[in-house]
Structure 1
Amino acid sequence: MKKLGFTVFLLVLSMVFVTYVFSAGQAEAKREIPDKLVIGSLEPLTGAHAVFGSEAKLGTEIAVRHINEAGGIKSLGGVKLEVAAEDCGENADTAKLGAESLISKHKPIAIVGLYISRLTVAASEVTEREKVILMVDALVDSVTEMGRRYLFRPGPKASQHGKSAVEFVLGASKKSGTNIQRVAILNEDSAFGRSNAMGATESAITNGLTIVYQREYPYDISDVSSIINDIAAAKPDFVVHCPYFMDAILFANTFKESGKIPKFISGMGACGYTDPESINALGTTAEYYSNTFSYNPAKDTAQNRKFVEDFRKETGHIPTEAGGMDYYITWTLKEALELSGRLFPDDPLNPDNIRKAFLQLDLQSGPAVDTFPTNRITFTETGDNPHARAVILQVINGEPKVVWPFDTAETTAVFPRPDTTY
């Protein structure tokens, strides 16, 4: 009898233990959603590229404000977002330190940044190791060719920018009846400039153009008069150029001072010539320059108009590349979090589950698409969006205007330049 009682006791104890373990396992499996989710903004906020980084950060901040006003992440119970910003500096070491600092201090669910491709590559070593989603606004093609599992880029590649710069000129020349056969290709000598130039070169060859001059130069170059003279001697019909900021100002001023101006100068890569800061620095010299952009400030949707209005209130000008990209990037991240909440309700913030959600996204409407240059956002295994395209802005009467693609342009391009001298 005693043996039977002891056996019953052990059986009851075992059942209690199993019930406890099962309940504890269930509690552990269902992850708690925090009171807020931190989005990291890691951008160059000091140094030569701060002009881009400060606007990128603002784009993320406005997006987070709009997301919170719309109810936060609804599949996660309406949890709100919060931005934590960090300066990534100007080199690989400061970019890594910035990523490490942001992650250790704020535990972000994702990081948006870093605009400059070489800084993106460096910081991605940290985010990959820590399994933090990195949403990039950098253009260099190879950024998504490194095998990073937690890195995603909604916007177009640099090579697409280069191709677009050439395609725009060819289209504008046909519309105006201008003969275009000869092209000069210029780029600053980083991977960014080289990727843009590769796209332009490929498009030029595909379209049967003759490349009469091609040159790389250091982005901190201080005298470009010999390059301008060499270009004039080669007699191109147009120049395709990938600068950063200060070198674009130097080239534009030197072209004007030399009096040697081709039929058109087509920027590529979204840095210089047509952004508000470049227009302010160049004054009337900025007239007729164009550049490619990963964001369309003239897209006629209510969401885009709201963003442009709020951005203008804070800066006095419209958003262009950096601010616009980080706005739709942040909204894309929001949609991935929403999907992760629906697909993985027990563990929606697990980085592997968020990654799976990104790979299942197919956005064809909503705020992210309403502010995106095309009307679809999906992701390949490498983290690229195969539907990404660039637009062209041209400075006309002191204002950057969308002039390409022609079917969605807000005005007609001025082509060729009325001040051309050869």
Structure 2
Amino acid sequence: TTTKPKIEKVKIGIIEPLTGRYAVFGQEAVDAARLLVDIINNELGGVSSLGGAKLELYVEDAGTSPDTAALAAERLISNYRPHVILGAYISRLTAAVAEVTEREKIPLVMDALVDWLTERGWNYVFRLAPRASTHGKAAVDFVLEMAKKTNTTIRTVVVLHEDSIFGTTVANGVRSQLIAKGVIPNETITYAYTITDFGPIISRIRELNPDVIFSVPYFSDGILFAKALQASGIKVKFIAGAGGCGYTDPDSIREAGEAVEYFTNTYSYNPARQTQWNKRIVQAFQQKYGKLPTEAAGIIFYSLMFVYEGLEKAGQMFPDDPLNPDNLRAVFLSMDLDDSNSIAAQLYPTGRVKLAANGENLYGGTAILQVIGGQPRVIWPEAEEGVTPIFPRP
């Protein structure tokens, strides 16, 4: 009789932008992965169905271009051949990574949002995070709901976004939801993420005099815009971010200061969700890294916990070959998770995770944070305890 091979460790790769203009996101994602691997290995005792096998994390820098991201994936695979890879936050970098992981048949759990990443017919891509267009829709639903509640008139709307596939897809979600609700955006303004001067855009905003600006920034562009708008003295009733990147995360607040007071943004993660595991992991992250986890960390929290729970199930369903990519795919697609049976679900905004055949979460959902008194606060779909959304801006 053949004895089944003893699995000492499960290799988890993570490819994130750790240098260059997106490093603020990649660093937070890797910090989150290190924290979770530590919790899984030490508090949860590793993967019990695989004899207590520990997770081992291998980190690669995706850089700032699709080429560097693809090379990072090739390097990671040729050096370590991970059983599962997570990454790469920036959608066009993630698409480049997926081309490589798909060819190599390695499951890729994506922390990038652009809708079409799950529409390419790729077999080994999985995404728990809500799609980019879902973020755009949420921003609109929130603003219109608050306008109705507070009797605030919204006549003119500007959509402002950085011009990558990420900014464009989120902004398309904003526009289509506005139109569905009978609000026609007056203008859409696009700019390159590398922008250094918002002067001409501020002049245009002054001419348009919008009641609301829906904005899709990454990081440094968001800081620059917020400061330029503040300096201009233009009064806008509300600035609603979408896409989980700028304005209301601790790093943006640190850099932009009072310029982002009362700004909101949509997130793929809700740090105020009151489940046992969410509270524990938020607290552990804050203790270790000194800041509230938001988008980049949050997506990794539930994505990596989903992988861990999948590995547990793989050991039960496929004891003879649990780490085979086709077996892992079958396991990931078979999982139906909620708060009662899953840590990953407790970390997820909607409390439900069930993947469709293309790897997309059927229960994708967002939360909205607002900067109130210089602090990031969850205000929607329900406000955290003791917090009231400020709308319109005073």
TM-score range, shorter chain: over 0.9
Q: Which residue of 2 aligns with 1:188?
A: 162
d(CA) in 2 for partners of 1:170, 1:325: 27
CA shift, 1:58, in A, is: 1.2
Structure 1 residue corresponding to 2:23, chosen from 27, 50, 70: 50
Structure 1 residue corresponding to 2:116, chosen from 127, 137, 142: 142
Confirm or deny that 1:290 pairs with 2:259.
Answer: no
Query: Structure 1, residues 356-377: CA drift from partner, whole Å, max 9, x if none?
Result: 0111110013211111101110
d(CA) in 2 for partners of 1:261, 1:335: 49
8 Å contact kept, 2:17–2:62: yes
Structure 1 residue corresponding to 2:389, chosen from 393, 410, 413: 413
Query: Structure 1, residues 101-154: CA drift from partner, whole Å, max 9, x if none?
Result: 111222211011100001000011111111111111001111111111111000
CA shift, 1:304, in A, is: 1.2
Counterpart code for 1:382:
N
Q: Which residue of 1 aligns with 2:252?
A: 278
d(CA) in 2 for partners of 1:304, 1:168: 24
Q: What's the secondary structure of 2:291's corresponding residue?
A: coil
Q: Which residue of 1 aligns with 2:58?
A: 84
Counterpart code for 1:322:
A
Q: Which residue of 1 aligns with 2:365?
A: 389
Confirm or deny that 1:307 pairs with 2:281.
Answer: yes
8 Å contact kept, 1:37–1:82: yes
d(CA) in 1 for partners of 2:380, 2:112: 22
CA shift, 1:261, in A, is: 2.7
Confirm or deny that 1:159 pairs with 2:133.
Answer: yes
Counterpart code for 2:89:
Y
CA shift, 1:228, in A, is: 1.8
Larger radius of gyration: 1
Structure 1 residue corresponding to 2:48, chosen from 67, 74, 91: 74
8 Å contact kept, 1:402–1:410: no
The alignment of Structure 1 onto Structure 2 pairs a total of residues equal to 391
8 Å contact kept, 1:89–1:95: yes
Confirm or deny that 1:39 pairs with 2:7.
Answer: no
Give the number of the structure whose residues are more often helix, by fraction: 1
Structure 2 residue corresponding to 1:170, chosen from 144, 166, 189: 144
Alignment gaps of 5+ in structure 2:
none
d(CA) in 2 for partners of 1:412, 1:31: 56
CA shift, 1:229, in A, is: 2.0
Counterpart code for 1:309:
Q
8 Å contact kept, 1:336–1:361: yes
Q: Which residue of 1 aligns with 2:299?
A: 325
RMSD value, Cα: 1.3
Q: Which residue of 2 aligns with 1:359?
A: 333
8 Å contact kept, 1:403–1:409: no
Confirm or deny that 1:372 pairs with 2:348.
Answer: yes
d(CA) in 1 for partners of 2:186, 2:228: 20
CA shift, 1:31, in A, is: 4.8
Query: Structure 1, residues 210-233: CA drift from partner, whole Å, max 9, x if none?
Result: 211111111111111221221232
Change (3 A) 1:409 1:239: farther
d(CA) in 2 for partners of 1:60, 1:33: 25
CA shift, 1:71, in A, is: 2.0
d(CA) in 1 for partners of 2:234, 2:384: 32
Change (3 A) 1:272 1:288: same
d(CA) in 2 for partners of 1:367, 1:411: 26
CA shift, 1:407, in A, is: 6.3
CA shift, 1:100, in A, is: 1.2
Q: Which residue of 2 aligns with 1:60?
A: 33
8 Å contact kept, 2:338–2:353: yes
d(CA) in 1 for partners of 2:70, 2:354: 28
8 Å contact kept, 1:374–1:388: yes
d(CA) in 2 for partners of 1:223, 1:86: 32
More off after superposition, 197-206 vs 230-239:
230-239
8 Å contact kept, 1:332–1:368: yes
Q: Which residue of 1 aligns with 2:234?
A: 260
CA shift, 1:408, in A, is: 6.1
d(CA) in 2 for partners of 1:368, 1:70: 14
CA shift, 1:409, in A, is: 6.8
Q: What's the secondary structure of 1:39's corresponding residue?
A: strand
Q: Which residue of 2 aligns with 1:11?
A: none
8 Å contact kept, 2:83–2:107: yes
Structure 2 residue corresponding to 1:245, chosen from 211, 219, 237: 219
d(CA) in 2 for partners of 1:33, 1:93: 37
d(CA) in 2 for partners of 1:193, 1:31: 48
8 Å contact kept, 1:393–1:404: yes
Counterpart code for 2:5:
E
More off after superposition, 195-204 vs 98-107:
98-107
Q: What's the secondary structure of 2:186's corresponding residue?
A: strand
8 Å contact kept, 2:63–2:69: yes
8 Å contact kept, 1:298–1:410: no
Structure 1 residue corresponding to 2:93, chosen from 116, 119, 129: 119
d(CA) in 2 for partners of 1:381, 1:410: 41
Q: Which residue of 2 aligns with 1:13?
A: none
d(CA) in 2 for partners of 1:327, 1:116: 17
8 Å contact kept, 1:219–1:247: yes
Q: Which residue of 2 aligns with 1:339?
A: 313
Query: Structure 1, residues 147-205: CA drift from partner, whole Å, max 9, x if none?
Result: 11111000100000011111111111122221223311111111000100110001100
More off after superposition, 314-323 vs 69-78:
69-78
Q: What's the secondary structure of 1:185's corresponding residue?
A: strand
d(CA) in 1 for partners of 2:378, 2:235: 23
Q: What's the secondary structure of 1:210's corresponding residue?
A: coil
d(CA) in 2 for partners of 1:343, 1:353: 9
Alignment gaps of 5+ in structure 1:
1-22
d(CA) in 1 for partners of 2:75, 2:390: 47
